[in-house]
Amino acid sequence: MEAEGSSQASAAASESQATSERIKLNVGGKLFETTLSTIRSAGPDSLLFVLSNRPANDPNRRFSTQELADEAAFYGIDSHFRSAAAPPPFSGIDASIVKSISPASEGLPSTFAVADNGAVWIAHGGQISSYDWSLAHTGTLRTHLDEIDSICRVWTEIAAVGSESDAGLHFYDFSSSRHVGSVHWTDPSDPRIFKARVNAITASETSVFASFDCPHRENIVLEIDKERIQIVSQLGRQSGNQAKHMVPSKLTFVPATGVLVGTAITSGAFGYSGYIRIWDPRSGDVVWETNEPGAGRSSRFGDSFADVDVDAEGLSIFKLCSKSGDLGMADMRRLGDDPWVYLEEKNPSMVNYGGEVNNLLMHCCWGQVFVGRGGSLEVWSRVQAHGGSIEGESGREGLFRRNFVDKRGDSERGDIKKIEGGGDRLFVSREGVEGIEVWESSHTSGAVPVS
């Protein structure tokens, strides 16, 4: 009995000594020192307990990002883990699909919104599914709408949504899964203003901007106070009976200058037409505007833009020419009657690629311009050599290259519907395809921006 007791005491002492032994953890290249007992303090179900308690000859096991994130949060080192787990800076010339995220029900996404840290909200039917920075599903919120066509992240947990089939702009709180307010465009002096639907939404630090149109095409942009969810001003009311008076289908707020950029584009038997308009919300005035066809140099007449996007950080506006496939670029600090310079592709393998495609769209992110032509995804980015030059302004000569981002198999999955970037990931949805593609670059790539 004495021998047995002595053996048990010795084992306990050995175990106590082992658990108090100090060990080092490497988290994203930063070393942390702790003890085995601390590592195991979360209990036998924790990931670190399992890792620290397995036999030396136990095969390695792969853990999901969510498992690692949960463990890091418990030990208060989640910020270090996020830094270590983040993808490298995104380069369109070296990117691939790493996964597809798809809501469990009604998997066809109607639209989505991406946060700066790579978290994403996906609208499908009248629901919004939320995915955090690690792309783990964190919940699904059901709205009163049958379909959601536009969505904007107003606060970390507040979404502003609109529908082309239901009137009003509506605000939902993810943290409490409830509707917190709505805004409708009405005019007591004009009975025609009713059932106004939202076409586009964007936000500044203090305001939400939304474009509304009525069944008879009268339209307006409303500025809404984010705190009170109340209309504070009206911008650009117009009849909507011509292309240059259509409701804006895209809105972008530019923080550096405090202006709002709105664009409207339509296409038909005679090609594309539309406008780019810049408002100063502080005065309500239009500070710059251009219409196509009918603006720009004569050599470009008939090559109207098929899509427009704003590089808010680089203070540039890009337009995608519908026939040539060229990109036009305008410096927002030097806008005038004809501010465009054109990025012409000189890469022999790409110069004849394209032509007129029915579905054209673009998105500016990280100083790169991503273009969807039907099902193909390409990127325009500055390179050191062997690219195309900027036409029209010798003071800004540079070398540019237009490259495919996707492979042939990727492009055959369906026409690209939306492109948006955040958290060094590119998110892409396609017509009639369930889920959202998530693109990342490899750790050996390096992006060089256009601007």
Mean pLDDT of the chain: 83
Cβ atoms of 214 and 194 within 8 Å: the answer is: yes
Higher pLDDT, 347 or 48: 48
Q: One-letter amino acid identity for 90?
A: F
DSSP labels for 153-168? E-SSSEEEEE-SSS-S
pLDDT digits (tens, 9 = 90+) for 142-195: 999 999 999 999 999 999 999 999 999 999 999 999 999 999 999 999 888 999
**How many Å separate Cα 59 from the centre of its chain?**
39
Q: Which residue type, as a one-letter code, is found at position 203?
A: A
DSSP category for residue 21: S
Whole-number pLDDT of residue 355: 52
The answer to whether residues 167 and 184 touch, using CB atoms and an 8 Å cutoff, is yes
Predicted local confidence at residue 50, as pLDDT: 67
Average pLDDT of 342-357?
A: 60
Query: Does residue 383 surpass a pLDDT of 90?
Result: no
| Amino acid in the structure at residue 246 | M
Under CATH, to which class is 112-357 assigned? mainly beta
Place of tokens 């943290």: 175
Closest by alpha carbon to 387, among 329, 355, 343?
A: 343
pLDDT tier at 387 (50, 70, 90 boundaries)? very low
For residue range 64-76, what is the model confidence (pLDDT) as tens digits?
677 777 777 777 7
Integer Cα distance of 215 and 31 in angstroms: 62
Q: Are 436 and 102 in contact (CB under 8 A)?
A: yes
Q: What percentage of residues in the chain have a pLDDT greater than 90?
A: 51
What order do you get walking across the sheet with 271-280 strand by strand?
Answer: 250-254, 259-268, 271-280, 285-292
Domain boundaries, the chain: 112-357
